[in-house]
Every structure is written in C-alpha cells, then in structure tokens.
Homo-oligomer: A and B are copies of this chain.
C-alpha cells in the first residue's frame, strides 16, 4: 500500500536505481532527471523505508544507549549530550533503562545488536565479565560514558573520580577543617563509590588526619541518604565541621537534615556536593560542589563513537574530562589554630 521507490521510478520514468541515487544525494545524476524524480517524490508523497535501506546498506544510522535511569537528573543530562551530538551526525537513539541490573544490561545490549545499531553508548556502574563477554561479540563499536572498564580495553569517557574525591576533601582541609565527614556512594560502585572514597582517604592521610569510620556514611546517591547521614554524624560526641557528599542530592539532604535540627550551613557546618545538577543552585544556601561535566561526557562519548563508526583514527580511546570545584554558599571554611593565634 505505501508508495515505494519503484512507484516513484515509474512515475518519473526512470529506474529505481536512479531514484535511489537522488534520494541519497549521489552527484551522478543529471539535474533535469533529478528534478523529475524530486517532483515524482513530492507528487506521490514518497517516504523512503529506512528498514529496507538498513538491510541493503548494513547501516541503520541508529545507535543504542543504555542508561541506568533516565529519570535521574544526572543521567538525563548525559543523555541529552549524547542525543545532541547524535542528531548532529544524523543518528537516532534507542534509549534503554537498565536500572543497573546486570542481566538486563546484557539483555538490552543483545537486543540492540539484533536491531543492528551502528554503535552503542553504555552507561552503568560496574563492568563485569558478563558485560565484556557480550561487548566483545559485538561487531559494532561500544563506548562507555561515565564509567570505565577495569581492563582499560574499552573506549570510555569519564572524569577522574579519585582526583575529584581527593580535591573535594583537600578543598575542605585547606579551608581549615579537621573533622571532615563523608557521605559515600555504594562502595560496590568501583568509581563513583570506591574511587572517590579513596581520594578522600588519601587527602586525609596526606594532611595527617585520622580516618574515622563514624565519619563515613554509606549512601546511595539519593536525598534520603543525606538526611540519614546527618542523623549519624550528629549523634557523635565530636561532630564533623564539614561534610562531603558524593552527589548533590545527598548534599542537599545533608543541608536540610542539618537545618531541620537548627544548625546553619555554612555557619555551623560546611557542606560540599558532587555533580553540579541544577538542584545545586536551587537550594539555600546554594551548594558548593564538584562539577562534573555531565553533558560533555555524553557529548564526547557520542562524538568518540562516531569516529569509531566512521573508522576514523582516534588518538586516545580513554578520555578523562576535567572536573572542578564550584564554590558557592554552602562552604565558608573554619579558621585554623594558626589563624586564630594570629588574631590574638
């Protein structure tokens, strides 16, 4: 029923090969016939069948995107970066939510490969053996965004979580803090969980500060974790003077937990977050945070993928994007003892 390339050919009085050529912008067509064909297309309301084209050409101009949860602001921003670059290169995106479940991630990968996507951008937590197994059976490129595989084989785009954890902690130390608590992510997460925590530990160690278990709360990136963390920290005899939470949501939870107990931020306690989602500017006090270029991670990952898909030369298959600390109102620092001495 729908009009095919053959109908157009008949209408224009040419062969289907010629129609195909004008549709695909092949220069080897006489302007006059091109015009005829275009007219026929317009006339008949012809819409090329991309599935047939995909079968014949072995390219679908579609890429798969596997994401933990699109309703998370962090990943949504990443996804937007991916899609913007994708559409810039004329690709469409098949978006799949994995909820970070390994079997599902593997299953989705297979589904995407069946659908003959030209490439895949993968976002997840841990890269396991199961992942590597499917990934290596793929005949199309796969790049990791916001993750890195332990073997370093796969192309990936991410920040240095270790450095970021270190920098945030160092920032607080330099501000004069000595009792610094941390709200971590799930430590099963090797990067956003573990590596950031290791950065924290390193910074403490270098400053000669003790690592106290009671100053570490194991969160899950969500707001409620922040609230819960405050409970733990405030029950201590020696309460922290600064709290480093590895997601903005948790950081805001911390701030509100503190405020609900009558403490002021940053007057009583400093708080620093992580990510720099829009929320960070939509709290009072505005949140000092480690900014992670989420949009860019997505965009760069997609750009990298296009290079692989076009068999272009790539210099570095692992790219580490810079992070930085955006100083806002949730941190103001403490005077160190030396500074206090000077004042006297």
Contact = CB atoms under 8 A, between A and B. Distances in A.
Number of copies: 2
A119 to B, nearest CB: 15
Nearest to A248: B282
Interface in A244-285: 249, 252-253, 256, 259-260, 278-279, 281-284
Contacts of A92: 94, 96, 111-112, 115
Interface string A70-104: 11110011011001100100001111110000000
A97 B84 contact: yes
A1 B91 CA distance: 24
A55 B256 CA distance: 56
Interface in A123-161: 137, 139
A123 to B, nearest CB: 14
Interface stretch (A43-51, A202-210, A333-341): A43-51
B62 A114 contact: no
Contact of A47 (B51, B114, B249, B260): B114
A2 interface: yes
Contacts of A116: 49-51
Nearest to A65: B95
A198 interface: no
B80 A47 contact: no
A52 interface: yes
B83 A77 contact: no
A70 B76 contact: yes
A282 B79 contact: no
Given A52-B55, A256-B282, A259-B284, A47 B84 contact: no
A163 interface: no
A281 B282 CA distance: 12
A55 B48 CA distance: 13
A54 interface: yes
A70 B84 CA distance: 11
A250 B93 CA distance: 31
Contacts of A115: 50-51, 62, 92
A80 B49 CA distance: 28
Nearest to A253: B282
Contact of A114 (B1, B49, B77, B256): B49
A21 to B, nearest CB: 18
Given A50-B116, A73-B76, A279-B282, 6 more contacts: A47-B113, A51-B55, A71-B79, A223-B278, A256-B284, A279-B279
Q: What are the nearest 9 A-B pairs in CB distance?
A: A95-B95, A71-B80, A50-B115, A51-B54, A76-B76, A50-B114, A51-B116, A71-B76, A51-B55
Interface of A: 1-2, 45, 47-52, 54-55, 60, 62, 65, 69-73, 76-77, 79-80, 83-84, 87, 92-97, 110-116, 137, 139, 223, 249, 252-253, 256, 259-260, 278-279, 281-284
